[in-house]
Amino acid sequence: MSLAIHIVLLIALPLLLSCVIRKTKALMQGRPGPPLFQPIFDLVKRFRKGETVSSTASWIFRANPLVGLSIALVVAMVVPWTGAEPLARGSGTADLILIVYLLAMARFFSLLAALDTGSAFGGLGASREAALAVLIEPSILVSLSAVALASGTMDLSVALQSPVRGTVALLSGSAFLLAALAELSRMPVDDPTTHLELTMIHEATILENSGRNLALIETTVALRTAVFFGVGVQILLGKALRSPDNAIVSAASSAAAILMLGCLLGVLEGIAVKLNWRRVPSFVAFSTALAVMSAFVAAVGA
């Protein structure tokens, strides 16, 4: 039962989330914006189009979207980001180090695929994305393990569903979500709608992807956004959202919280200014500092 809910949310929520974010953002910018489900229509259209591949590209470029999507699917299946119980709880599959390194593998492919076409933009995007990862990786690892410390296991399927002290949850949840903004290439670190190549980060790495290839990458991004938001929500509000006897209620309230977070992001993207690339490190430093504080509280127990 719980697994079925998880799978339903896994299919529905990512797409819905990207619709909500885009609509809120449009409203914040004072325009009606396209219909709510436009992102889904776009995706369907892209899946049905032909694609153009650079003649310089090798198998890495072709493999990148496949690797990215399947890693995102595996991660989404094993991590309890929907509040419902995912696949194989407590089997060690949702190991937090494994999850982080699976995402690193997806990043490795996307960096190489960006360089693969021999375009200067690809190099620019890859170089910046690699630097961003260096900044956020410690924060993500420390904040997640501070949460996991209470249960004494690195298995997120257990750790995210066991009680955590309020201070730790608040600190590491905020650290995680701030890092997630950078990891997911959202404002104020990167502007997903930019069309000026020189300011792009994520968009520059996928500049050469088109048609089906691009659609796969966009699906991956939507899925990853939902998973990261879901994990953030579980850390921050897990205690309040869980109802032990009713799986549907806890999943529904988690889904609502994720969508709310999407609205918040839309508002943020409407009012925030994209940071100068050189000032990104000081933005991520907030996340790292919060993560270290959460580790302090979790370990020393102040």
| 44 belongs to the binding site for other proteins (CB under 8 A) | no
| 111 belongs to the binding site for other proteins (CB under 8 A) | yes
Residue whose CB is less far from other proteins, 23 or 46: 46
Count of beta carbons in the 10 Å neighbourhood of residue 231: 27
| 285 belongs to the binding site for other proteins (CB under 8 A) | no
Report the distance separating Cα 56 and Cα 54, nearest Å.
5
Applying CB under 8 A, among 105, 240, 256, 271 the residue interacting with other proteins is: 105
| 162 belongs to the binding site for other proteins (CB under 8 A) | no
- CB 90, min distance to other proteins, A: 10
Task: Give bridge partners of residue 155 from the DSSP assignment.
Answer: 95
Applying CB under 8 A, among 5, 124, 226, 233 the residue interacting with other proteins is: 124
Half-sphere exposure of 78 (CA within 13 A, CB side): 19
| 36 belongs to the binding site for other proteins (CB under 8 A) | no
| 70 belongs to the binding site for other proteins (CB under 8 A) | yes
144: tokens are 């997640």
Residue whose CB is less far from other proteins, 62 or 248: 62
Q: Which residues contact 289 (CB under 8 A, 6 or more apart)?
A: 175
Residue whose CB is less far from other proteins, 149 or 255: 149
| 155 belongs to the binding site for other proteins (CB under 8 A) | yes
- CB 23, min distance to other proteins, A: 28
Angle in degrees, 0-180, between the axes of helices 211-241 and 2-28, rounded to the nearest 10? 110
> 150 to each of 110, 126, 160, 179, 270, how far by Cα in Å?
34, 37, 10, 22, 37
- CB 28, min distance to other proteins, A: 30
Task: Give bridge partners of residue 95 from the DSSP assignment.
Answer: 155
Within the chain, what is the greatest distance between any pair of CA atoms? 59
Residue whose CB is less far from other proteins, 175 or 247: 175
Of 224-243, binders to other proteins (CB under 8 A) are: none
Of 189-208, binders to other proteins (CB under 8 A) are: 207-208
> Taking CA 16 as the corner, what is the angle to CA 12 and CA 20, rounded to the nearest 5 degrees?
165
Sign of CA dihedral 130, 131, 135, 138: positive
Task: Give bridge partners of residue 261 from the DSSP assignment.
Answer: none
Stretch that binds other proteins, among 29-37, 102-110, 240-248, 260-268 (CB under 8 A): 102-110
| 74 belongs to the binding site for other proteins (CB under 8 A) | yes
| 289 belongs to the binding site for other proteins (CB under 8 A) | no
| 286 belongs to the binding site for other proteins (CB under 8 A) | no
| 97 belongs to the binding site for other proteins (CB under 8 A) | yes
Stretch that binds other proteins, among 14-22, 107-115, 182-190, 225-233 (CB under 8 A): 107-115
> Taking CA 28 as the corner, what is the angle to CA 25 and CA 29, rounded to the nearest 5 degrees?
90
| 49 belongs to the binding site for other proteins (CB under 8 A) | yes
> 107 to each of 16, 34, 79, 153, 211, how far by Cα in Å?
24, 31, 19, 26, 21
| 152 belongs to the binding site for other proteins (CB under 8 A) | yes
Asked whether the beta carbons of 160 and 234 are under 8 A apart, the reply is: yes
| 154 belongs to the binding site for other proteins (CB under 8 A) | yes
Applying CB under 8 A, among 8, 60, 260, 275 the residue interacting with other proteins is: 60
